[in-house]
Amino acid sequence: MRVRILGIGMGPRHVTVEVADALRGCDYAVAVRKRDDDGLLALRRSVCDAFGVPLVTVADPERDRDDPADYPAAVADWHEARAVAFERVLVERGGTAAFLVWGDPSLYDSTLRIVERIAARGRTPVEYDVLPGISAPQILAARHGIVLHEVGRPVHVTPARRLREAVEAGQDNLVVMLGGRHGFEGLEDWTIWWGANLGTASEELVAGRLGDVRPDIDAARRRARDGAGWVMDTALLRRAS
Amino acid sequence: MRVRILGIGMGPRHVTVEVADALRGCDYAVAVRKRDDDGLLALRRSVCDAFGVPLVTVADPERDRDDPADYPAAVADWHEARAVAFERVLVERGGTAAFLVWGDPSLYDSTLRIVERIAARGRTPVEYDVLPGISAPQILAARHGIVLHEVGRPVHVTPARRLREAVEAGQDNLVVMLGGRHGFEGLEDWTIWWGANLGTASEELVAGRLGDVRPDIDAARRRARDGAGWVMDTALLRRAS
């Protein structure tokens, strides 16, 4: 059993030469089928169609989204459920399977951990490798025509739910992923470069002083969700110098 | 005058569909020609050859590498000298020029700032855009089969020269770029995932407890430099849990 974990950016235009070759060499791609984001599944299907690989979908296990106290444990339960669902497909079909990862497998994506779980469960031997893809912060920077940091300075990449603690710890240049509007309170004088559904037809961009452009971001986020049926936002936040 | 700033990862295999199309639509690509890294220029030329665009090279201006006290000012002088050198080519040739960026233009790359300087100088009107590419930390993560952070946690991306201050400020999960061996002292118990010349024929990988694998990294770094004539290293460092 061979699994290839392939970063696909935000669709066929972001696929690299090595990922295209890998896709063509796979027997099928597997993807979860959620109840409420047919737009994302369609985008994934467009990648499979572009490189001639059939797409096998599995129903997504339920996940407790109510921010439980033990967040890592809740995530682990959900990873295990996904691992079981994918394992069934791999055992039934055999051959080489592609897992298509939005953006890049190295940032806020669970595919690698799920494939490790399938291997650890031991029902089927799994050999896997990973190829990188274009991630949302890179598209954000390209669209705004910016570098993610000032000359020679760091950039702190964080999920939105940890933005507050990073700012309190003194970070002054942050990429915020997985829901870019939490924790914006008190940052009115910071500069924001914001984007939603980056690299897709429903892409939205806003930049400026956060206190000034906050209503623009809210409106743009609604447009992205209305246009696509889903919304994923990413932002760079920089303290006023 | 049109300029396209194109991320090319570490060579032709990392070029995306949209960058390939952009390259084919450019009249030429421009690149600096350094005295001592013909290997890197050859790699850049292989990208131009793969997508059928001629490569125009310009001599690289001198840069003071002795870590001057006023680092941003030294970088700014060097950016200005590069801007003047590139401006000459753009004015002579006209048309649409591609600037090929190793990795991704959003991380520790000066191309965007140099193109902004050419535009600001006002000798020639410049319209530019940016397309993202695969960056070294993504290749590092893919090769080691890892995610760059623990579940729901941040990752701090820093130049090696600022590693020490980031560790002292409490960062426990860091991507270190631009020379991955400075500031390793005292981090013997940390885990390191290290790579040099990632994505190229001279790629080297080492992972383990830093105190144990430090000699392996030194040896691998020498092999990379001997093999390619240049070495670029990137590392993920994580505090022992």
One-character DSSP codes across B59-87: EPPP---S--SSHHHHHHHHHHHHHHHHH
- pLDDT tens column, A143-164: 999 999 999 999 999 999 999 9
- Phi then psi dihedrals of residue B116, to 5 deg: -60, -40
Q: What ipTM was assigned to the predicted interfaces of this complex?
A: 0.93
Q: Is there a contact between B141 and A105 if contact means CB atoms under 8 Å apart?
A: yes
- pLDDT tens column, B30-55: 988 877 666 778 888 999 999 999 99
How confident is residue A77, by pLDDT bands cut at 50, 70 and 90? confident
Q: Is there a contact between A148 and B106 if contact means CB atoms under 8 Å apart?
A: yes
User: Which of B109, B106, B113, B89 has its CA nearest to residue B26?
Assistant: B89
Q: Is there a contact between B162 and A145 if contact means CB atoms under 8 Å apart?
A: no
Residue A143: closest CA among chain B residues belongs to which residue?
Answer: B130
Q: Which of the pair, B240 or A68, is modelled with greater confidence?
A: B240
**pLDDT of res. B36:** 67
Residues in B touching A146 (Cβ below 8 Å): 106, 112
Residue B22 in this model has a pLDDT that exceeds 80: yes
Q: How many pairs of residues across A and B have Cβ atoms under 8 Å apart?
A: 161
- The sign of the CA dihedral B199, B202, B206, B210 is negative
Helix (H, G, I), strand (E, B) or coil at A168: helix
How far is A179 from A196, CA to CA, in rounded Å? 10
Helix (H, G, I), strand (E, B) or coil at A183: coil
Q: Which of the pair, A229 or A142, is modelled with greater confidence?
A: A142
**pLDDT of res. A64:** 61
Residue B182 in this model has a pLDDT that exceeds 90: no
Residues in B touching A133 (Cβ below 8 Å): 134, 138
Query: Considering chain B, what is the average pLDDT of its residues?
Result: 92
How confident is residue B156, by pLDDT bands cut at 50, 70 and 90? very high
Residues in B touching A173 (Cβ below 8 Å): none
How confident is residue B65, by pLDDT bands cut at 50, 70 and 90? low
Residues in A touching B12 (Cβ below 8 Å): 17
- pLDDT tens column, B74-114: 777 888 888 999 999 999 999 999 999 999 999 999 999 99
Residue A65 in this model has a pLDDT that exceeds 70: no
**If you search the block for the tokens 């060097």, which residue do you land on?**
B78
* pLDDT, average across residues B166-181: 89
Domains of chain B: 2-131 (3.40.1010.10), 136-238 (3.30.950.10)
Q: Which of the pair, A206 or A124, is modelled with greater confidence?
A: A206
Identify whether the C-beta of residue B127 lies closer than 8 Å to the C-beta of residue B3: yes
Q: Is there a contact between A129 and B145 if contact means CB atoms under 8 Å apart?
A: yes
- Phi then psi dihedrals of residue B72, to 5 deg: -60, -35
Kindly report the nearest CA distance between residue B15 and chain A, in angstroms: 5
Q: Is there a contact between A141 and B106 if contact means CB atoms under 8 Å apart?
A: yes
